[in-house]
Amino acid sequence: MSQSPRPWPRLRRGLEHDYTILKVREDLYADPRTNQEHPRVFLDTPEWCNIIAVTTEDQLVLIRQYRFGVQETTLEIPGGLVDHGEDPALAAARELEEETGYEAGRMVPLGSVHPNPALQGNRCHSFLALDCVKRHEGRQDHGEDITVELFPRAEVPRLILEGKITHSLVVVAFFLERLRAEAAK
């Protein structure tokens, strides 16, 4: 059996640049094999949540919003930041209601993943929101411009395979949902 890599000791914590939704820092680490110094960038971000929302009519509640990284509008599930100290399930219910105006009858945890462990230490928590009912038009945060669309739940594979849904964390949420459904059989 091979031995696991050893942790890299941090030699110096770099100057932090705060960009509101994330902090960027370059720390200096020592390679435990060679003791050579290597700078490594770290993105300090809050926990995130994603919500697969399903109405009482078995429709998916999806959102479209402009994403600056790809310079285009994307089709996604609702989601957002988990406030410091906030329970991820409560954050998911809050984000769903704020972005779409829907409230869930039941919230089921699907699991969580590290979005990019090479650069980030946070987790993205995915939830399945069942029996969702529209209560209002939503209360979007300042700087959000979201439209809500309903799709038959059975269209998810097609939407992903045809490149209509491209956000990796959204695809992961649907994959976690499928794994949970298969494990329950």
pLDDT at 179 over 80: yes
pLDDT at 12 over 90: yes
Residues 29 and 52 both lie in one domain: no
| Triad 70, 65, 110: Cα angle to 5° | 95
Residues 40 and 89 both lie in one domain: no
| Residue 1 covered by a domain | no
Looking up residue 126, the CATH number of its domain turns out to be: 3.90.79.10
- Which amino acid appears at position 8 of this protein? W
Q: Residues 61-80: pLDDT tens digits?
A: 999 999 999 999 999 999 99
Residues 18 and 105 both lie in one domain: no
Q: Which of 111, 83, 104 is nearest to 183 (CA)?
A: 111
Neighbouring C-beta atoms of residue 149, cutoff 10 Å: 12
What is the pTM for the complete model shown? Answer: 0.93
Residue-level pLDDT at 55? 98
Residues 142 and 52 both lie in one domain: yes
Q: Residues 24-36: pLDDT tens digits?
A: 999 999 999 999 9
Residues 67 and 84 both lie in one domain: yes
Residues 31 and 74 both lie in one domain: no
CA within 13 Å, CB half, 60: 21
* Residue 84, both tokens: 């410091």
Residue-level pLDDT at 83? 95
The one-character DSSP state at 120 is: B
CA within 13 Å, CB half, 11: 11
- Which amino acid appears at position 12 of this protein? R
What are the residues facing 61 on neighbouring strands?
53, 150
Mean pLDDT, to the nearest integer, of 36-56? 97
| Enclosing domain of residue 40 | 10-44
